[in-house]
Amino acid sequence: MMDAATLTYDTLRFADIEDFPETAEPVWILGKNYNALTEKEEIFCDVTSRLWFTYRKNFPAIGGMGPTSDAGWGCMLRCGQMIFAQALVCRHLGREWRWRKDCREKDGYFNVLNAFIDKKDSCYSIHQIAQMGVGEGKSIGQWYGPNTVAQVLKKLTLFDSWSHLTVHIAMDNTVVIDVIKRMCAQDHPCDVVGTPNNGFVCEGDMDMVLKWKPLVLLIPLRLGLSEINKGYIETLKHCLMLPQSLGVIGGKPNSAHYFIGYVGEELIYLDPHTTQPMVELSEDGLISDDSFHCQHPPCRMQISELDPSIAVGFFCNTERDFDEWCQHIRKMAQLREALPMFELVERQPSHFCNADALSLTPDCFDTKKLERFFDSEDEEFEILSL
């Protein structure tokens, strides 16, 4: 357990700490279990350590002549940034990393944060996401759905030479183990090799165990028609309990949130619907980062109010992590009174080919399939059978 000084980061206090429910029910935050009666500060420190991206104003015009604020249209893009930032935090800093107010370390954390700030040359900035979305049929300023933002973020990882990630978007409610393992085993430019200890070493430095590019797995789903099917609620909760969890992006129609956990029948989430000024780099290359951390008790909403269109995210730093995740998913499939949200299979089914967003060909899909592949409207998803 962390000492009191670490828990409060010397100066961080939660004035509204009583706002969180006093309950004996477990609180789950991205795979970690807390007791709300005895670990309230630990809960808030964990939540505050997540990168919080909101609407911003007065940033450089997108595309040179486009909008200078994303207020009113960028909430799903910001949620996409949050779930992907969590992946980068896990990749470079580890799940146990905690933010300290006024921390001035230059490496790691600020490198992650710099990848998302509002300027055109940041890898995952609102500028990059909005402009990349044009190629997916979304004009700048148009609202995205979970699937579209996932597809765009996948393309942007090609320009992230620091993180060396494999991003797989599992379409058709199906996760294919063999496809993912082949993708993560591919050599990448630096010949960096993953080890079971979450580290990366160059070939020749030690005996190699496994080649593995860290995996970000995003699964766009539709869990009902106009509202979430209650049969999926327990399964969704269990996804947030997994140690590999990156959370869920979704929300309500045209109002996106980043869901990071739950307590009882309530989802815990970070809300991007706050407009803040753009943050500039300081002379020493650092960022005033207070506004990127939500320093008040997290928002909550009833799970039953969740819009059925979501994307669930997971991060597997090593092949062992992925194997353990597969074991968890198989156990979840056996839960009574809980419907599986997606199918886990060893091999790619013969009736469909690999839906790789970067290698779609007319030979693989008919024209209508191609047109709807990147579409993020309600009809994009297959409704899961009961």
Active-site residues, by number, are 75, 271, 273
CB 109 within 8 A of CB 39: no
Show the tokens assigned to 85.
Answer: 């930032």
142 DSSP 8-state letter: P
Please give the Cα distance from 372 to 386 (Å, whole number): 24
Q: Which residues pair with 217 in a beta bridge?
A: 168, 314
- Alpha-carbon distance 80 to 102, whole Å? 26
* Listed residue (293, 350, 250, 241) closest to 101, CA to CA: 293
What tokens appear for 193 in the block?
């090799």
Which residues 6+ apart lie within 8 Å of 213 measured at CB? Answer: 164, 165, 166, 183, 184, 185, 186, 188, 194
> Which runs of consecutive H residues, i.e. helices, occur in 136-273?
146-156, 177-184, 233-241
Q: What is the DSSP letter of 103?
A: -
* The Cα angle at residue 152 between residues 147 and 157, in degrees rounded to 5: 125
Smallest Cα–Cα separation from 300: which of 30, 19, 8, 13? 19
Q: Which residues contact residue 253 at a Cβ distance below 8 angstroms, ignoring those fewer than 6 apart? A: 307
Phi, psi of 335 (to 5 degrees): -65, 135
Amino acid, res. 350: S
Judge residue 330's burial from the number of C-beta atoms within 10 Å of its C-beta, 0-12 exposed, 13-18 middle, 19 or more buried. exposed
